[in-house]
Amino acid sequence: MNKVIIIGSGPAGLTAAVTCAEKGLDVVVIDEYMRAGGRLLGQLYEQPDGTWWNGITESDRLHQQAIDLGVQFCLNTPVYNIERTGDSWIIYTENETFKTANLLLATGAAESPVPVPGWTLPGVMSVGAAQVMTNVHRVKPGERGVIIGINVLSAAIAMELQLAGVEVASLTLPRMNQVTHEAAHPKMVMDSLLHVSHIAPSQFVKWGSKLMKGDFMKGLGVGFYPKKGVKIWDIPIQLRKTVIKIYGEGQVEGVTMATVSPNGEIVADSEENMRADFVCIAGGLYPLAELASLAGCPFYLVEELGGYVPLHNERMETTLEGLYIAGNITGIEGAKVAAAQGRTAGLAVAMKSRVRGLEKEIQESIKAIEATRDDAYIQFHPEVKKGRKMVREQWNSYRTTSMELKRT
């Protein structure tokens, strides 16, 4: 029986694998992709100190470190079911079946693109797909594109596309409906962008964001927001434009846009066409937690973390014996936070496997997660700390109820 199996080879999974292996455990990492690294593979951006974060370099370093420590990798291996049998977890893949007492789910996140008329045309893709094409496979998704959806992820990837010589003609809003209401409301989108205004290269944008503190000023800012948008990294950010449809004969040729009011309502007779040969849809990320659901984990909807997350504690333990989680399955954050969680999970697994003297390291690693979160250059969700507190409260409530039931 393997002492620990990790599903997912992103920053959390790789760091957990290295941590477990360093403590003398036998480790198997399973991932459906053909290369280890997960979301790290697409990341390339400049850090506050002027250095560049290269996700491919970081993933290669972690992968090689794990291999040197004897970690076994089963790549290109999708997992289609897990179940608990006795004191073991059974992991079913297309190639073989695995058995372990300790299972770590580091499955990451998935995109949730919103439907737009014409989105089935060749040349329409999620913004994450464009990132992988550009940064991993070194293939341009096109020459001139439009990104539908203005958020932290789409802004970062727009910059990466531009660095690769791809013209991003516009970052614009989706059309407002029941699904897209917050993502299509100019004022709500402005709210979400204010907490990352410090990364804007424009001093005008940084200075202007400091004025947008109260609701009145935000409403005033949206009301006077230029119809042509404000350029950041020479990319027009258009909070007063929405894409009505994507058009083309056999492939993307452009989008039809319209001006919207400060409340997101379309202004009559404001339609115009914009030429583009590809379109990205950015609907945000949500925790990829289906395997935890199959295992029977209790879930809670925590909007501040991006969606439904499995109940867990600060040691990355779930309510189920021998099942751990780390990374974006616990809530949407950056790769560095995911890696810090992976170390905590790895130490918790090692301690459960009777490796002695780890309590101090575990406590230090929990503190390191908080420090990494505090130092994060950007947050995908500005209220992430509130979300983490909600999960801790639910965990404490669950444990209290469980203890009371055992006593009765």
pLDDT at 215 over 70: no
**How sure is the predictor about 222, in pLDDT bands with cuts at 50, 70 and 90?**
very low
Strands (E), 313-375: 323-325
Q: Tokens 């727009």 correspond to what residue?
A: 158
Residue 84 is encoded by which pair of tokens? Answer: 């608990």
Work out the number of other CB atoms within 10 angstroms of the CB of residue 13: 32
pLDDT at residue 211 in the model:
39
Average pLDDT for the chain: 88
pTM of the model: 0.89
Is residue 108 within 8 Å of residue 128, measured between CB atoms? no
Last residue of a domain, one of 262, 283, 304: 283
Q: Which residues contact 401 (CB under 8 A, 6 or more apart)?
A: none
- Helix H or strand E segment including 300: strand 299-302
Last residue of a domain, one of 255, 283, 311: 283
d(CA 160, CA 301): 32
CATH at 383: 3.50.50.60
23-69 pLDDT, tens per residue? Answer: 999 999 999 999 999 989 888 777 777 788 888 999 999 999 999 99
Number of domains in the chain: 2
On whether both 88 and 51 belong to a single domain, the answer is yes
pLDDT at residue 320 in the model:
97
On whether both 160 and 221 belong to a single domain, the answer is yes
pLDDT at residue 231 in the model:
67
91-120: average pLDDT? 94
On whether both 82 and 126 belong to a single domain, the answer is no
On whether both 157 and 274 belong to a single domain, the answer is yes
Q: What is the DSSP letter of 47?
A: -
pLDDT at residue 216 in the model:
36
pLDDT at residue 408 in the model:
67
On whether both 220 and 191 belong to a single domain, the answer is yes
pLDDT at 276 over 60: yes
**How sure is the predictor about 104, in pLDDT bands with cuts at 50, 70 and 90?**
very high
279-318 pLDDT, tens per residue? Answer: 999 988 999 999 999 999 999 999 999 999 999 999 999 9
d(CA 141, CA 126): 11
pLDDT at residue 218 in the model:
43
Give me the percent of the chain exceeding a pLDDT of 90: 68
pLDDT at residue 402 in the model:
80
Environment class of 289 (CB within 10 Å of its CB; exposed 0-12, middle 13-18, buried 19+):
buried
270-277: average pLDDT? 96
364-380 pLDDT, tens per residue? Answer: 999 999 999 998 877 78
Last residue of a domain, one of 236, 252, 283: 283
pLDDT at residue 203 in the model:
45
On whether both 16 and 151 belong to a single domain, the answer is no
On whether both 214 and 325 belong to a single domain, the answer is no
On whether both 98 and 245 belong to a single domain, the answer is no
Query: 141-150, 269-278, 293-302, 394-403: lowest mean pLDDT where?
Result: 394-403
Is residue 189 left, alpha or beta, with left meaning phi > 0 and alpha meaning psi from -120 to 50? alpha
pLDDT at residue 2 in the model:
62
Neighbouring-strand partners of residue 284: none
Residue 309: give the domain boundaries: 4-110+286-407
Neighbouring-strand partners of residue 260: 266
On whether both 29 and 136 belong to a single domain, the answer is no
On whether both 304 and 240 belong to a single domain, the answer is no
Work out the number of other CB atoms within 10 angstroms of the CB of residue 355: 15
Rank 73-87, 172-186, 192-206 by mean pLDDT and report only the highest.
73-87
On whether both 120 and 267 belong to a single domain, the answer is yes
334-352 pLDDT, tens per residue? Answer: 999 999 999 999 999 999 9
On whether both 85 and 117 belong to a single domain, the answer is no
Measure the CA angle with vertex 65, ends 313 and 91; round to 5°.
Answer: 50
pLDDT at residue 235 in the model:
87
